[in-house]
Structure 1
Amino acid sequence: MAQKQEPLLIKRYASRRLYNTETSDYVTLDDIAGFVRDGREVQIIDLKSGDDLTRQYLLQIVAEHESRGESVLPVDVLTDLVRAYTTQAQSIVPQFLAASFEMLRDGQSKVMGNLDAMGHPLAKMPGFDAMQAQQEAFMKAMMSSLPGAAPGSDDDEDGDKPEAGSKEELDAIKKQLADLQKKLSGMG
């Protein structure tokens, strides 16, 4: 069995420079994005305070891609995210996003597995394995950056069980996503 690789530790100095502890050199946000795309988990720690800054830097990478016109997130989704952060009510957005990405990851794994099993020409294409690993790393990074979205956890950030209404809403959303996934599968 393969052991899980430790996250790449990046230290942020007071000068805001980012230091790769494995290679003993300074790195940029583009370098960090490359590590994540290659399937490597990263952990960014402030050297002085010891605070974990990983989420902040991953969000900054996404924001930079969005600002360069490499849009992945529709405006409606961004608006809903802002609303989720600005409302005092218990939000189901983190659970919804976690469930959505989980379904997307499962769907991608099934499609990639089916292509490979069927001997589809794409599966023999050079870089197919790298593309598959990149998709898995992207999904893992997105899932780990969601607040309160630990895989397999039904607890919220306070450690309490979510309200029954929110679980019912989440189940309804999961069903809708499953229906959409079936429709998308039918199109291919």
Structure 2
Amino acid sequence: MTEKPAPLLIKRYASRRLYNTETSDYVTLEDISGFIRDGREVQIVDLKTGDDLTRQYLLQIIAEHESRGESVLPVDVLNDLVRSYMGGGASVVPQFLQASFDMLRDGQSKMIEGMGAINPMTKMPGFEAMQAQQQAFMKAMTGGLGQWSGPSSEAEPAADAKDGGEDLDAIKKQLAELQDKLSKLS
């Protein structure tokens, strides 16, 4: 189990300026938003009282993004949030939101991992034709022995119906056609 790194400590001075304790410089809300986008956790505390102000500032960052037209939260969700605060009793909304975001992060991680397993070449136009060319070439070069097990193609010449010279001519023709198609794509 991996341990979460300690959050970046930001101290708020009486002047309301925010101070990054790691880099020993003042930061803005936009800087803090950038830290969070980069995956850092932050903790914002009042220097004098020690009060944790993180929630207040995170809500302020969201409000500023929403006011600039960078709307993420639909009005219905905002209404539900207000209702959950005004409900008077314990609300299930915070637990639901936490579980939803956990599932979203988990799904994104799995998707990114899965994308690494996908060969982007398979999406390239003409890839199947190129594989067929390779298969036909290997078949011609080996006389059908130890055939490459790539996908079959209608453009592939039947090696047992032709002699090696005709196969090679067919491969050259198909290769020239493929090169022509690729040059048109460029």
1:2-40 CA distances to partner (integer Å, 9 max, x unpaired)? 764321111100110001111111110001011111111
Counterpart-to-counterpart distance in 2, 1:90 and 1:120: 49
1:115-143 CA distances to partner (integer Å, 9 max, x unpaired)? 1122347xxxxxxxxxxxxxxxxxxxxxx
Counterpart-to-counterpart distance in 2, 1:35 and 1:102: 19
Deviation at 1:74, TM superposition (A): 0.1
In structure 2, the residue matched to 1:76 is: 76
Q: Which runs of 4+ in 1 moved over 6 A?
A: none
Deviation at 1:89, TM superposition (A): 2.8
Q: Structure 1 stretches of 5 or more lacking a match?
A: 122-188
Deviation at 1:63, TM superposition (A): 0.6
Q: Please give the TM-score of this superposition, normalised by the length of structure 1.
A: 0.60
Within 5 A, what are the aligned runs for 1:32-181?
32-120=32-120
The secondary structure found in structure 2 opposite 1:36 is helix
Q: Please give the TM-score of this superposition, normalised by the length of structure 2.
A: 0.61
Counterpart-to-counterpart distance in 2, 1:22 and 1:52: 18
Q: Using a 3 Å threshold, how does the CA distance of structure 1 residues 93 and 4 change in structure 2: closer, same or farther? A: closer
1:34-83 CA distances to partner (integer Å, 9 max, x unpaired)? 11111111111100000011111111101100000000000000000000
Counterpart-to-counterpart distance in 1, 2:74 and 2:61: 17
RMSD of the alignment, in Å?
1.8
Counterpart code for 1:86: M
Counterpart-to-counterpart distance in 1, 2:103 and 2:4: 23
Question: Which has the higher Rg, Structure 1 or Structure 2?
Answer: 2
Higher relative contact order (Cα pairs below 8 Å, separated by 6+ residues) = 1
Q: Structure 2 stretches of 5 or more lacking a match?
A: 122-186
